[in-house]
Every structure is written in C-alpha cells, then in structure tokens.
Amino acid sequence: MIPIELWTALMLGFAGSWHCVGMCGPIALALPYQGMQRWQIVGNVLLYNLGRISTYSLIGMLIGLMGRALWVAGIQQYVAIGLGILFLLAAFFSLNPETYINRIPLMRKLNTWVQKQLGQFLKRDRWYNFMGIGLLNGLLPCGLVYFAIAGALSSEGILSAGLFMMFFGLGTLPLMMLTALGGQLLSAGFRRKVRKVLPLFLIFFALFFLARGFNFEPPKEIKFWETWQNPPMCH
C-alpha cells in the first residue's frame, strides 16, 4: 500500500505540472526528434522524462541525508510545521522561490552551466542525449521542485526522501509527455486557467504538513494512561 506521503508527492507533481509546462515546456517542445518514427519519438520522450525523474530522485536522496539528521536531532516536527506555513504563504501571496534562489551566486552559476550544456545536447539527436537533456532539465531552477524538495526534507530517511521526489516526478509525467508529443494541443489560455487551481493544492499540502508536524509522540514520562490501563498483576 502506498503511504500518504507518496500520494501527496504524486498529487503535488500532477497539480503543479501545469507550472512545469510553462518552465520546461520550451525544452520539451525543442527535443530533437524531427524525422524520427513515432515509436522512436515516444521512446526518446520517455528517456527525457526518465532523466528528469532520476535527477529529482537523486536530489531527494541527498535531501534525505539532511532530513535524517533533523530526525535524529528531534527537530523534524518543527520543520514540518515550518513547511506548512511556507506552503500557506505561497498559496495566499503567490510567492515564487525561484526569484530568491536565483539571487544566490552559486545557483546563478549552476543555471548558466546547465543552460549551456542543454544547448549542446539539443543539437544532437542520439538516444542518450534525450536522457542527458532530462538529467540537466532536473537541475534548472523551478519553484515547484523547491516545494517538493521542502517536502522531501520532512522525510525520515534517504530512501523515503528519494521516493518522495520520484513520485513527485511521476506526477508531472502525464502532462509533460503530452506537451512533448503534442504541446500545441494545450493552449496558453487553457494552461493559465488550470494553473489558478494550484493555490488550492498548496493549501492542501500546507494542512498535510501542519498535521504531520503537530502529530508527535508524547514523551515516555507522561504515558501514564497506558500504564494505568495495564496495571501489574499480583498472584
């Protein structure tokens, strides 16, 4: 049975994939599959998206190292509450973390390097280039990915954080596949209308993280009720 955390990641990816179309859509539409047969196009588009999801999963595992440290330190509860507040602020005030992340010099350099490499990969139509384009695409600055990373940070381990980001990527897969295979079918006006629903999903995720943050186990010394329910028996 899939845990609620992974369902949350999947829903976040699906709901936010309309944002992905605006950010990554131009790359998906520029994939060099001209002149290929239909089965080759579908296969290469799958490779591109596999590359994206692989990068998300690897980032999640790295974030999982931090999440594990927070769990050991006993402050992961407060991290979850902070994330819930962050999601609420993003929903009500349309906060865009890309604006702030891109001000970091290291992130600007990374973004410049990724765009340069993407330009080289988009000139070649070898099958492994599609995978490379996806791997690089996953490193581009994206507010939605940052929200997913924040969610992975509340995971309890490396594997769970990696799975969180993988399911997030899988949630973006249907619309990104449709965009790459026939993006002109999705008008800009239609995408704008659907993106208006995203704040509602952010509110849902905010409530999820807040509930997760406040649902902590009580210290052992106050578990007197369970002890009273099972008194020692004398014979």
Express each pLDDT in 23-48 by its tens digit.
666 787 788 877 788 888 889 899 99
pLDDT for 116 beyond 70: yes
Taking the C-alpha atoms of residue 234 and residue 185, their distance in angstroms, rounded to an integer, is 76
The pLDDT score that the predictor gives to residue 169 is: 94
pLDDT: is 67 or 229 the higher one? Answer: 67
What does pTM read for this prediction?
0.76
The pLDDT score that the predictor gives to residue 167 is: 95
Mean pLDDT of 118-136: 88
Going by pLDDT thresholds of 50, 70 and 90, the confidence category of residue 96 is low
Taking the C-alpha atoms of residue 207 and residue 11, their distance in angstroms, rounded to an integer, is 14
pLDDT for 162 beyond 90: yes
Largest Cα–Cα distance of the chain, in whole Å? 86
Between 68-72, 97-101, 137-141, the lowest mean confidence (pLDDT) is in: 68-72
Nearest CA to 186 among 172, 176, 196?
176
The pLDDT score that the predictor gives to residue 204 is: 76
The pLDDT score that the predictor gives to residue 134 is: 92
Q: 67 near 161, Cβ under 8 Å?
A: yes
pLDDT for 219 beyond 50: no
